[in-house]
Amino acid sequence: METVVSGIRSTGNLHLGNYYGAIQNFVKMQNEYNCFFFIADLHSLTTHPTPADLHGNVKQVLVEYLAAGLDPEKVTLYIQSDVPETTELYLYLNMNAYVGELERSTSFKDKIRAQPDNVNAGLLTYPVLMAADIILHRATKVPVGKDQEQHLEMSRTFANRFNRLYNHDYFPEPYAFNFSENLVKIPGLDGKGKMGKSEGEGNAVYLSDSPEAIRKKVMRAVTDSGPTADNQEKPQEIQNLFDLIKVVSSADTYEHFDNLYNTCNIRYGDLKKQLAEDIIIATAPIRDRIKDISTDSAYLRQVARHGAIKARESASKTIKDVREIIGFRSF
């Protein structure tokens, strides 16, 4: 069975876009591959979180992924900092990652623009840590978005370079991989592009939002002044709302509002009310599980321990081989 690895950013609540995109992708993979999913808390140190924030963020992400359907009996779900083999491999890989190539990475350039007062070496070597995460389990498949393509290319470079340096065909090449070709794209509520937390307040509906908050956000979604001719093409902000309805509502509901739009009888207030209620229904089980799991410390502790043990089993095998290959041998 092929091995899949993916890192989950440890900051930010999950929104509908994450849920219908990346998470459903993970949930489908858990039945077909040997999956390692981890919360990337070491990576988050590049932004200097406080200890309380760091812990709170990791907990929230863990709770929400469990609530959204990741099954810790099927996948190895762990917290990156619980697996010290990660940092050991990171150190070895750093010895053959060149400063010039790291400085040229677009994500490094973006990050130094975003935090000019904190250009630490961890930012520079972020792609090396990511490569270590992946090749630690000798994974070949990495479910990530387009924005991570360059990082994956660097992972392949570091894996190949290690193999060449020690003349040992040890690490396979990891490639980006998504379960289905066309992941569902969830538009935001601002009338523009996709749902995202960086697109401003009110654009994203979070899985942890209360029904009241969901109603408020949806009622404020951007619309136009309405169609003026039958069967008119929908402008983007209206198409976005219909796209959301397609995902969370029944086919009948979609058709109902589509007909109203096409005959110029639509009232956006009604459509939004229905959309809000259907989002609330679609996310209710997850919202309930978030509440239950977040107060169940015993369960969270057990999940984290179980994940760390399974991850370290795989990681320590690799590290043992790598030490031998590098030449750290016992007398």
Figure out which of the listed residues 62, 63, 130, 315 binds ligand TRP, where binding follows CB under 6 A: 130
Residue of 194, 234, 273, 310 marked active site = 194
Specify the residue, 17 or 191, whose C-beta has the smaller distance to ligand TRP: 17
Any catalytic annotation for residue 111?
A: yes
Using N-to-C axis directions, what is the helix angle for 251-262 and 268-294, rounded to 10°?
A: 150
Q: Give the interface segment with ligand TRP, choosing from 1-9, 158-166, 222-230, 287-295 (CB under 6 A).
A: 1-9
Q: Give the interface segment with ligand TRP, choosing from 18-26, 128-136, 161-169, 193-201 (CB under 6 A).
A: 128-136
Figure out which of the listed residues 85, 133, 190, 209 binds ligand TRP, where binding follows CB under 6 A: 133
**Shortest Å, Cβ 134 to ligand TRP:** 5
Figure out which of the listed residues 4, 5, 39, 207 binds ligand TRP, where binding follows CB under 6 A: 5
Specify the residue, 40 or 67, whose C-beta has the smaller distance to ligand TRP: 40
Question: Can you say how many angstroms the Cα of residue 197 is from the centroid of all Cα atoms in its chain?
Answer: 12
Figure out which of the listed residues 3, 27, 43, 90 binds ligand TRP, where binding follows CB under 6 A: 43
Q: Give the interface segment with ligand TRP, choosing from 6-14, 98-106, 244-252, 310-318 (CB under 6 A).
A: 6-14
By CB under 6 A, the residues from 140 to 199 that bind ligand TRP are 142, 144, 148, 151
> Is residue 319 classed exposed, middle or buried when 0-12, 13-18 and 19+ CB atoms within 10 A define those classes?
middle
Residue of 28, 74, 192, 197 marked active site = 197
SS3 letters across the chain: CCEEEEEEECCCCCEHHHHHHHHHHHHHHCCCCEEEEEEEHHHHHHHCCCHHHHHHHHHHHHHHHHHCCCCCCCCEEEEHHHCCHHHHHHHHHHCCCCHHHHHCCHHHHHHHHHCCCCCCHHHHCHHHHHHHHHHCCCCCEECCCHHHHHHHHHHHHHHHHHHHHCCCCCCCCCEECCCCCCCCCCECCCCCCECCHHHCCCCCCECCCCHHHHHHHHHCCCCCCCCCCCCCCCCHHHHHHHHHHHHHCCHHHHHHHHHHHHCCCCCHHHHHHHHHHHHHHHHHHHHHHHHHHHCCHHHHHHHHHHHHHHHHHHHHHHHHHHHHHHCCCCC
Cα distance between residue 221 and residue 217, in whole Å: 6
Per CB under 6 A, 4 contacts ligand TRP: no
Per CB under 6 A, 6 contacts ligand TRP: yes
Whether the Cβ atoms of residue 276 and residue 219 lie closer than 8 Å to each other: yes
**Shortest Å, Cβ 190 to ligand TRP:** 22
Per CB under 6 A, 106 contacts ligand TRP: no
Size of the site for ligand TRP (CB under 6 A): 13
Specify the residue, 148 or 203, whose C-beta has the smaller distance to ligand TRP: 148
**Shortest Å, Cβ 143 to ligand TRP:** 8
Specify the residue, 152 or 238, whose C-beta has the smaller distance to ligand TRP: 152
Any catalytic annotation for residue 320?
A: no
Contact pattern from residue 12 through residue 41 relative to ligand TRP, giving x for each residue in contact according to CB under 6 A and a dash for the rest: ----------------------------x-
Q: Return the structure tokens found at 270.
A: 């009604």
Specify the residue, 122 or 211, whose C-beta has the smaller distance to ligand TRP: 122
Per CB under 6 A, 9 contacts ligand TRP: yes
Cα distance between residue 102 and residue 187, in whole Å: 33
Name the residues that contact ligand TRP, by CB under 6 A.
Answer: 5-7, 9, 40, 43, 130, 133-134, 142, 144, 148, 151
- Residues forming the active site: 111, 194, 197
